[in-house]
Amino acid sequence: MSGDRIAGRYQVLGALGQGAQGSVLLALDEQTQREVALKTLAEERVTPALAAVLRAEFEHLRSLDHPGLVRVLEFVVAEGRPYLVLERVGGEELTTWAARGDRVERALEIAEPLLRALSHLHRRGLCHLDVKPAHVLVAEGGQPVLLDLGLAARPGEVAEGGTPGYAAPEVLLGFPVDRRADLYGLGVTLLEACGSPLEALPQNARAFLERLLASDRNRRPSSAGEALAELSVARGVPSPAESDEGLLPIEGSLRGREAALAHLHEAEVALVTGLAGAGRSRLLREASLPAAREGALVLWVDFARGHLDDLGALAPLLTRFGVPLSGGDANVRRARILVEAGRRLLVAAEAQPLLVGR
Ligand SMILES: Nc1ncnc2c1ncn2[C@@H]1O[C@H](COP(=O)(O)OP(=O)(O)OP(=O)(O)O)[C@@H](O)[C@H]1O
Ligand SMILES: [Mg+2]
């Protein structure tokens, strides 16, 4: 690859990274005499679907303009292969950088510009969804740059993937995402930069990271701006507030409904009623998250869309919960085993009163 010339302009100098689907090449832009990074697909991976993902990353990056977010130059297709042309980011990976000083101090220091970059991204209506140390390069002078918008999505969408160990639980479980997923990813990233378990951290760092790492997203800060305010308390230094202007409200925010949520967590069986659009599904989705994390079978059944076959299969259980139905198959066996093992089962019906049980 080295020595190749791409699109009549980019002279390949070497490799910067290797991903599951392709690679990132270091190249010299002969027109500007600057180094660039070319993100491309492996030859055998060049499919219209994967090329579209790279193209989407280009479109997302093009809408951003922040020193903490990698800058995109162009998108080219050369000899049938797509290339995302990025500004080459110098510097070292976050954990390497952190290890060259007081790790905890450095993690809290780098948190500020990273939160500002996330705030910019969120105000442009995007969630990164793959915040992890390998995606943060720290340039000389301490400016971190966040890379790889390959998984970015809009709030309310379901993530196309996520890195286990870094992605927020709601991302890995296929729940509609919002910006708080990035605060979780940042929490894991910073904790890794600290290089010690939460319990071993000084109280201020621990309290700050615990908030980011709450598996219930309603217990995380609600925006990067709010996290910045908490960071400034943790560091004991004033930091200019980050504007929340342009931030969409979190869809179906559960603020003010904490009591209802707590009740659902406690209840053996609960009936959730309300008008369509009142946020019943949202409430149940949140309520089911901890159960799903514990490995419970979470079933979503939509009466209105005629999922009666699935529902029929759950008849014996539903009868126990007072919903008479008939039918039976493998799903029931699975559900029965889980329930017998003392795990929770949640059944939700969209256009009807919603049912929760365990
Ligand atoms: N603009 C850039 N400047 C310098 N290095 C970069 C740049 N973009 C990417 N890299 C390097 O290449 C690696 C992979 O980049 P990126 O995560 O965007 O690709 P990927 O195909 O999604 O890889 P993976 O699947 O491993 O996440 C990064 O972790 C980083 O080390
Ligand atoms: Mg990546």
| Cα–Cα distance, 235 to 284 (Å, whole number) | 37
User: What's the 58 CA to ligand 2 centre distance in angstroms?
Assistant: 14
Judging by beta carbons within 10 Å of its beta carbon (0-12, 13-18, 19+), is residue 273 exposed, middle or buried? exposed
Q: Which atom of ligand 1 is nearest to the CA of 134?
A: 29
| Residue of minimum CA distance from atom 29 in ligand 1 | 134
Q: Is 127 in the pocket of ligand 1 (CB under 6 A)?
A: no
Which ligand 1 atom minimizes the distance to the CA of 87? 1
Strand order in the sheet with 10-18: 5-6, 10-18, 22-29, 34-41, 81-87, 72-78
How many angstroms is it from 140 CA to the middle of ligand 2? Answer: 22
Question: Taken in order 59, 64, 70, 73, is the CA torsion positive or negative?
Answer: positive
Q: What is the pLDDT of residue 241?
A: 87
pLDDT of residue 353: 38
Cα–Cα distance measured from residue 188 to residue 164, given in angstroms and rounded to the nearest whole number: 11
346 lines ligand 1 (CB under 6 A): no
Find all residues with CB under 8 Å of 70, minimum gap 6, and list them: 61, 86, 87, 89, 145, 146, 147, 148
Distances (CA, A) of 314 to 33, 160, 212: 65, 29, 37
CA-CA distances (angstroms) from residue 100 to 169, 204, 231? 31, 21, 22
Whether ligand 1 lies within 6 angstroms of the CB of 138 is answered as no
Ligand with an atom nearest the CA of residue 88: 1
Phi/psi for 168 (5° steps) reads -65, 150
| Set 4, 29, 65, 130: catalytic member | 130
**Chosen CATH of 5-87 out of 1.10.20.60, 3.40.50.300, 3.30.200.20, 3.30.70.260:** 3.30.200.20
Strand duo 136-138 + 144-146: pairing: antiparallel
Q: How many CB atoms lie within 10 A of CB 104?
A: 22
Distance CA 94, CA 109 (A): 12
Q: How far apart, in Å, are the Cα atoms of 143 and each of 62, 97, 178, 234?
A: 20, 11, 26, 20
Stretches in the chain below the pLDDT threshold 70? 1, 252-255, 266-278, 280-281, 291-358
pLDDT reported for residue 20:
81
CB 195 within 8 A of CB 107: no
For atom 4 of ligand 1, the residue with the nearest CA is: 89
Please give the pLDDT value at position 295: 60
* pLDDT value, residue 212: 98
Asked if residue 85 lies in contact with residue 73, where contact means CB atoms within 8 angstroms, the answer is yes
**Ligand 1 pocket: which of 10, 13, 16, 29 to mutate (most atoms within 8 A of CB):** 16
The closest alpha carbon to 176, from 245, 211, 230, 129, belongs to 129
CA gap 76, 72 in Å, rounded: 12
pLDDT at 296: 58
Domain ranges of the chain: 5-87, 92-235, 258-357
pLDDT at 349: 45
Please write the tens of the pLDDT for every residue from 255-306: 677 777 777 776 655 556 666 666 766 777 777 777 666 665 565 554 444 4
CA 70 – ligand 2 centroid, Å: 13
Range 281-306 burial, b when 16+ CB lie within 10 A, else e: bbbbbbbbbebbeeebbbbebbeeee
CATH number of 92-235: 1.10.510.10
**pLDDT given for residue 175 in this prediction:** 84
Rounded CA-CA distance 281/296 in Å is 18
Q: What pLDDT is stored for residue 269 in this prediction? A: 56
Q: What's the 127 CA to ligand 2 centre distance in angstroms?
A: 15
Atom 19 in ligand 1: which residue has the minimum CA distance? 19
**pLDDT score recorded for residue 177:** 94
pLDDT of residue 329: 43
**Alpha-carbon distance 31 to 47, whole Å?**
29
Looking at the CA of 23, name the nearest ligand: 1
> Which-ligand-closest: CA of 148?
1
**Residues 334-345: b if buried by 16+ CB within 10 A, e if exposed:** ebeebbeeeebb
3-class secondary structure per residue, 233-249 = HHHCCCCCCCCCCCCCC
4 included as an active-site residue: no
Read off the pTM: 0.81
DSSP string, 291-323: HHHTT-EEEEE-TTTTTHHHHHHTHHHHHHTT-
pLDDT value at residue 9? 97
Q: Which ligand is nearest to the CA of 135?
A: 1
Residues within 5 A (CB) of ion ligand 2: 148
147 lines ligand 1 (CB under 6 A): yes
CB-CB contact of 286 with 218 (8 Å): yes
- The finding on whether 54 has its CB within 6 A of some atom of ligand 1 is no
Q: Which residue from 24, 58, 86 has its CB within 8 A of the most atoms of ligand 1, so it is best to mutate? A: 24
Q: Is the CB of 17 under 6 A from ligand 1?
A: yes
